[in-house]
Amino acid sequence: MKMFLISDNLDTKIGMRLAGIEGVVVHEKDEVLDMLTKALKDIDIGLILITEKLADLVQNELYRMKLTYQTPLIIEIPDRHGSKKAVDAITHYVREAIGLKI
């Protein structure tokens, strides 16, 4: 199983490449959707990493893809500037999903 990165900056791509993960750098919505479609069709790819900035750019389409495809798993990652999400994002998701405060 391979991992594939869709990034909006070269630094993230180089860092992931050092870890053995292939990827591309794109900036436009059409480019992001095209790369996601290609990655979803590649049976060797088991995990798609996409930077938060690009995920925000194609939020609706990405959500639909996550619901439609079992594999590969699509994960949003922070870029070199850090995460835009709140520090307690996981706690917030648990609270929202099951109503349990942890």
Domain boundaries, the chain: 2-98
Q: Are 21 and 47 in contact (CB under 8 A)?
A: no
Domain 2-98 fold is: Rossmann fold (3.40.50)
Tokens of 22: 């292939």
Burial of 7 (0-12, 13-18, 19+ CB in 10 A): buried
Q: Looking at residues 20-31, what average pLDDT do you find?
A: 95
Instruction: Please give the model's pTM, rounded to 2 decimal places.
Output: 0.78
The pLDDT assigned to 88 comes to 60
pLDDT digits over 41-87, tens only?
Answer: 999 999 999 999 999 999 999 999 988 888 899 999 987 666 666 55
The pLDDT assigned to 26 comes to 96
The mean pLDDT of the chain is 86
